[in-house]
Chains A and B, each alone.
Chain A
């Protein structure tokens, strides 16, 4: 597979790992006093565990798993609203696969499907659009979930729906943006972060300059990384080199895909279709200003919240976390998955308490599936 397999070469990986070990030593990073590198994006968390990179990098490097998993940061109230929408008569509720098993207060989408709701897994919002064309007598709702990587796709789909004059298509918009939660984490006095591996595919859309504030205002290096193992290793090396040299810059390791200023067509579509919400609730982080997007009034007929009087259109409601669920703490890197008392006990992939055990990009799912951890670590 071109542009993928070449970036998995084991010999180059060994070279990168050797160099990482060398620079890590030069900085004086040890298991007791590690360098904390946050990989922001859930896709990176997944790749790290799939290729065993956490075990291959020296003990002086600690990966802090960031909140870049859109399914993981979804508050339970939004899941409940999905179920409510799906249970409306005549609705075909379409969603990416991952979101189906996230527990809501009453049930998950998968359980709602078993109870008779017409919920269908799609790979693309275009598939939902096609369903709307083929089922003019049904209301097709697309669960628009994701960071800036996915935001343009939903926007283009809404524009297409408008061009075709579709009247039975709407989007339940849960698109969120990356920079605000990063700022929230950097402002958190409890967080110890030395550098960042930046989200490669988000950056493909927004470019690399939205991260300038991380280097400029907080003095931390950030390297925007691709998703193959060599991309990740090279990016870690670049972060370490910056630390060794006392630099704090935004670098682009993924230049083959990420343009410096992002993708103009996607940014234009986002601007056309969405407007920032004053604030949006994030699981584990609470309400964050200007971190979520809603569909503009000009496209209100495609906004499921307006059409069905739900969510922020009805007045947002906060749902308390399930007793004992530590998703928020794990997701913001405050504890590792094995630091959650429910890990492997009350919360497993078969019977998840929270989204981090469900989503393929969730840190807990990655630890459980790839890392083999099955029980919480003994409390220190």
Chain B
């Protein structure tokens, strides 16, 4: 009988990280059984025909995830990890192919928690059409990590001719977001319980690969896409404005927000522009392709709430400004300091 099935084995111990039998059992039962890699070598050996196309480029990204709490309405650390990495590839115009997943586990963490996180990851990977092909497991003593940290790296292929990059954005380009802003940040805040707030706000965590493909098909001139994670939409826009040397003007009245997120921001004095998202992006397209892009986005589940929020301008390059409710103007700066720690 597999040692893993005995009741006293239902938490992770240092032995599980030791490289011996306990670790092998943990990996087999929890990780390999779910992710089903082709082989159990130290490395995954892979090929995709698209990589060999002339002009194709390999896209490669990595992210670590330390979100607290590990499980929250709308997802868990595993879901964020897979979606986050898939999205980082997708916003570059890459078709995501393979992911690695490394786990640092605190001694005493329940194995059932690990199983739920891994199941999440498999589910998201399947939705995104990627496979988790390699990984690593380490266990650290109690107090040396907070339950679970996950690092995912991902590779994808950018087909020839695609150049999605912040530097491509030009004055006149239209900025479109795929849905409401700030749900993830608000969900985490509520889930932490520090503020004695309760609200039905699930994280917006979702993969955006299919959405990007839909945009690019309908709007081949699409310039850039960015997912608005830490630092929120404001930070994503500032990065683009600076990289492209353009000004960006957004309309306060155009920003889509759930009433509950609006309410939470009012209570706590937070600005929703800076709340983290895990399934929301902003994409810049040439003005004449905006209607087609919008239509395409709205046909995909992740883009149902797609809406235009502003445009790039030649004025005040590097700056993001917002026209307020009454036509006043304010600057939308980069986030200073940290709105909320361990948001993703």
A221 to B178, CA, bound (A): 49
CB–CB A229/B321 < 8 A: no
CB–CB B324/A123 < 8 A: no
CB–CB A372/B321 < 8 A: yes
| Cβ–Cβ < 8 Å partners of B266 in chain A | 1, 4
CB of B334, distance to nearest CB on chain A (Å): 9
Q: Taking A53-B328, A127-B196 as contacts, is the C-beta distance between A1 and B263 under 8 angstroms?
A: yes
Q: Does B259 contact A (CB under 8 A)?
A: yes
CB–CB B324/A52 < 8 A: yes
| Cβ–Cβ < 8 Å partners of B1 in chain A | none
Interfacial residues of chain B within 303-344, with CB under 8 A of chain A in the complex:
316, 319, 321, 324-331, 333, 336-337
A110 to B269, CA, bound (A): 19
Q: Which of A10, A17, A49, A349 makes the CB contact (< 8 A) with B325?
A: A10
Q: Does A51 contact B (CB under 8 A)?
A: yes
Q: Which segment, of A32-40, A246-254, A334-342, A363-371, faces chain B? A: A363-371
CB–CB A1/B327 < 8 A: no
Count residues on chain A whose CB falls below 8 Å from chain B CBs: 32
A350 to B337, CA, bound (A): 7
Q: Does B262 contact A (CB under 8 A)?
A: yes
| Cβ–Cβ < 8 Å partners of A65 in chain B | none
CB–CB A10/B331 < 8 A: no
| Residue with the highest number of chain A CB atoms closer than 10 Å, among B259, B266, B326, B333 | B326
Q: Does B195 contact A (CB under 8 A)?
A: yes
Q: Taking A349-B336, A349-B337, A350-B336 as contacts, is the C-beta distance between A369 and B331 under 8 angstroms?
A: yes
CB–CB A371/B330 < 8 A: yes
Interfacial residues of chain B within 251-294, with CB under 8 A of chain A in the complex:
259, 262-263, 266, 268-269
CB of A231, distance to nearest CB on chain B (Å): 14
What 1/0 mask marks residues of chain A from 116 to 132 whose CB sits below 8 Å from any chain B CB?
00001111101100000
Closest to B323 in A: A52
CB–CB B268/A123 < 8 A: yes
Closest to A370 in B: B330
A374 to B196, CA, bound (A): 37
| Cβ–Cβ < 8 Å partners of B194 in chain A | 120-123, 127
A85 to B337, CA, bound (A): 24
| Cβ–Cβ < 8 Å partners of B319 in chain A | 372
A64 to B321, CA, bound (A): 24
CB of B226, distance to nearest CB on chain A (Å): 21
Closest to A350 in B: B336
A269 to B93, CA, bound (A): 61
What 1/0 mask marks residues of chain A from 49 to 61 whose CB sits below 8 Å from any chain B CB?
1111101100000
Interfacial residues of chain A within 356-380, with CB under 8 A of chain B in the complex:
360, 368-372
Q: Taking A1-B262, A369-B333, A372-B321 as contacts, is the C-beta distance between A123 and B196 under 8 angstroms?
A: yes
Q: Does A237 contact B (CB under 8 A)?
A: no
Q: Does A14 contact B (CB under 8 A)?
A: yes
| Cβ–Cβ < 8 Å partners of B331 in chain A | 369-372
A350 to B333, CA, bound (A): 12
What 1/0 mask marks residues of chain A from 122 to 162 whose CB sits below 8 Å from any chain B CB?
11101100000000000000000000000000000000000
| Cβ–Cβ < 8 Å partners of A49 in chain B | 330
Q: Does A8 contact B (CB under 8 A)?
A: yes
A-B pairs with lowest CB-CB distance, top 8:
A52-B328, A372-B331, A349-B336, A370-B330, A13-B326, A10-B326, A123-B195, A56-B328
